[in-house]
């Protein structure tokens, strides 16, 4: 059953890419491979819509975990990627698939769990120390386990804690490649701890019974990056329009301003923070 579902999912992605590639060839069009979190949060569709209105250039995305998004881009069907796993990003660029990493925005991860907090991690300043407590008590922890940016960041934190999580307490969600939202809901059903981006938690907090227990450790910062696909590697890549989009996204008066305001009205706080080089230069104190 798992193999059938995986095959069906891959077929749907392939059909989506095929249809979008046809459109790409017909008009000014950018095809974006994007990590799922910002798509689910709504910031990616909003940025695409605003850019299209201003430039006349259409942008459409296919969402996947960072590892899968980069693999798809390595096949030459995409023009731009939006991802959040530095080591994987650098490999993508070093292998000639991407031209350069452009900082776009960031938010942060949090460790969430049941308010009963069986591992006693609430208020722990170090996220790595919190993971040690979870492992020591054998409290259930849910992982995406799919080589997404979220999973890569989680595994880096386990490494920092000096641990290789394994055992019945460490549950790898079999549908983790569907994204952070489904993973968070599954953890809530299990009354388990999990590692999650704050934007996803805020968007679902009214419908789940989990709370933020560990936050505001620098190790939990989540940096999101743009990488244009290398036209020297794939001649059909629309590098010119992709770079027009990158410049608009990183402009303090355009994409960065939209990012700064996104989420404030609904949640009372932004879900992401601007982080382009241009934004940093314009706001340097």
Q: Which run of H or E residues covers position 24?
A: helix 2-26
Looking at the structure, do residues 89 and 151 belong to the same domain, yes or no?
Answer: no
- pLDDT of 115-157, one tens digit each? 999 999 999 999 999 999 999 999 999 999 999 999 999 999 9
166 and 121, same domain (yes or no): yes
Domain count, the chain: 2
Distance CA 60, CA 82 (A): 12
Same domain? For 127 and 184 the reply is: yes
Q: Helix 149-160 crosses helix 86-94 at what angle (to 10 degrees)? A: 120
Task: Give me the domain span that covers residue 227.
Answer: 2-106+223-282
- Domain with residue 126: its CATH number is 3.40.190.10
**Domain shared by 65 and 147, yes or no:** no
When pLDDT is cut at 50, 70 and 90, the band that residue 40 belongs to is very high
Residue 85 sits in the same domain as residue 212: no
Given a cut of 80, is residue 114 above it in pLDDT? yes
54 & 28 share domain: yes
> Do residue 79 and residue 7 come from a single domain?
yes
Report the C-alpha gap between 74 and 233 in whole angstroms: 9
């Amino acid at each position: 059953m798992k193999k059938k579902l995986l095959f069906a999912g891959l077929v749907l992605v392939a059909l989506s890419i095929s249809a979008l590639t046809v459109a790409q060839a017909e008009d000014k069009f950018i095809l974006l491979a994007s990590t799922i979190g910002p798509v689910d949060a709504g910031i990616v569709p909003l940025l695409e819509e605003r850019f299209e209105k201003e430039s006349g250039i259409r942008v459409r995305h296919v969402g996947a975990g960072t590892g899968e998004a980069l693999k798809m881009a390595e096949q030459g069907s995409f023009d731009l990627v939006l991802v959040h796993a530095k080591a994987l990003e650098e490999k993508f660029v070093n292998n000639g698939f991407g031209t350069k990493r452009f900082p776009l925005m960031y938010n942060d991860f949090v460790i969430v769990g049941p308010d009963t907090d069986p591992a006693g991690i609430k208020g722990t300043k170090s996220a790595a120390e919190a993971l040690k407590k979870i492992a020591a008590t054998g409290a259930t922890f849910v992982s995406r386990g799919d080589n997404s940016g979220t999973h890569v960041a989680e595994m880096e934190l386990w490494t920092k804690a000096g641990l290789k999580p394994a055992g019945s307490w460490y549950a790898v969600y079999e549908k983790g490649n569907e994204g952070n939202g489904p993973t968070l809901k599954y953890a809530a059903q299990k009354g388990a701890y999990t590692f999650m981006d704050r934007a996803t938690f805020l968007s679902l907090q009214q419908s789940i019974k989990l709370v933020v227990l560990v936050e505001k450790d620098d190790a939990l910062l989540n940096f999101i990056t743009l990488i244009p696909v290398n036209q020297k590697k794939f001649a059909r890549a629309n590098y010119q329009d992709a770079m027009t989009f990158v410049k608009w996204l990183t402009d303090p008066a355009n994409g960065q301003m939209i990012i700064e305001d996104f989420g404030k009205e609904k949640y009372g706080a932004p879900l992401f923070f601007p982080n382009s080089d241009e934004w940093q230069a314009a706001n340097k104190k």
